[in-house]
Chain A
Amino acid sequence: MDRNKLVKWLKEPAKMGHKYSLHAVYFCTGCGIIEVPPSITARWDAERFGVIPVATPRQANLFLITGYVSVKTLKAIIRTYEQMPEPKFTVGFGSCPINGGMYWDSYNTIKHLDKYIPVDGWIAGCMPRPEAIFVAVTHLWTLIDKEMANGYKKYRAKYRYYRANQEKVLGTLEWPPLFSIEGKDEELVKETA
């Protein structure tokens, strides 16, 4: 590798580590379940980007939400997202998490995923091809470099609003709040503990 990269590695190894080793939790929502296995197997190889699927959210870094999200799936997504260790990144695929997509007037799907869990980037398409997944991964690298991939910090700072929105859709939630929902409104903290 050239000198620039070596210098970057020595100065900020944590950031380079987060970039080049994104472990995706193998949770395939809706229609995008058909686009994830081709991008992991031999033809469009995702392992050269450092992206491998792992079986459990506790070992994962990256959450791909690949398609429409019904209300029942939203429950599972929130539980999985809250189990992942920080720092974690979410990417929404397809047009259904953006604004409802094809199911914009359905009685059982949620229309904007951004209101319930924080999303760092979107990929347009219905479904996007595996090459689009790789473009998204490289964009995510740029965001991590500039420290703009702050979804998890936003979730921690504004958790009471996220939880209020989640309760509006799902009714009372069975799990206790992850962060405290009392107290004053806080700013986004720069450093998480």
Chain B
Amino acid sequence: MKNSLKKQLESAFKNTQIHVPENDRLIINVEKDRVISILKFLKEKGYEHLALVSCVDWIEEKEFEVVYILSAYLQNESEYTEREKINIIVKTRIPRDAPRFVTVIPIFQNSEPYEREIHELFGIHFEGHPRQTPLFLERDYKIPPFRKDFDTRQYVKEVFDTIPIIEDRASEK
């Protein structure tokens, strides 16, 4: 089954690397322009569940890698005769200096909170996303906290350790 899917993908999209590491995974590396079309193709094939949208910071190569993990809900058609579900992982790379990307909300509506989280924690701007406001964090950070050049110990020393305890402040006056 996977072989037929792999063959279909290779015939539809030339010049992509498709890679089968284990029995129930399929990894596809595409350029960022073809992400939307490959996700639409996979959704029509029955992989309707977008499990996760995630991001990796490759700081030496100066790129961000956006990762989409898809899987199928039920397998009751003729093509899907095996019992286990497979996970399809779609990866793209975007440059780190001007991180902008397109949102996949028109295809998978549930990617809105994932993209909001990535915007808040990595700093990538998704065009077409209706609500890119902070989700978890309350303070402002100069560098988005999940990037690898954010020094958390330095941040804690600057912000949290400089707040005085109450007895000290009282004796200042």
Contact = CB atoms under 8 A, between A and B. Distances in A.
A107 B170 contact: no
A20 interface: no
B1 interface: no
Contacts of B164: 115, 165
A170 interface: yes
Interface residues of B, number: 21
Contact of B138 (A106, A112, A154, A170): A170
Contacts of B165: 112, 114-115
Contacts of A71: 137-139
A18 interface: no
B46 to A, nearest CB: 39
Given A107-B145, A171-B138, A158 B166 contact: yes
Contacts of B159: 169
Category for how many chain A residues contact B: 20 to 34
The list of the 5 closest CB pairs from A to B, nearest first, reads A71-B138, A161-B169, A105-B153, A107-B152, A107-B145
B73 interface: no
A169 B163 contact: yes
Nearest to A111: B160
A12 B152 CA distance: 52
A106 B161 CA distance: 12
A44 B92 CA distance: 54
B166 A106 contact: no
6 contacts: A72-B136, A75-B138, A115-B165, A115-B166, A170-B138, A185-B170
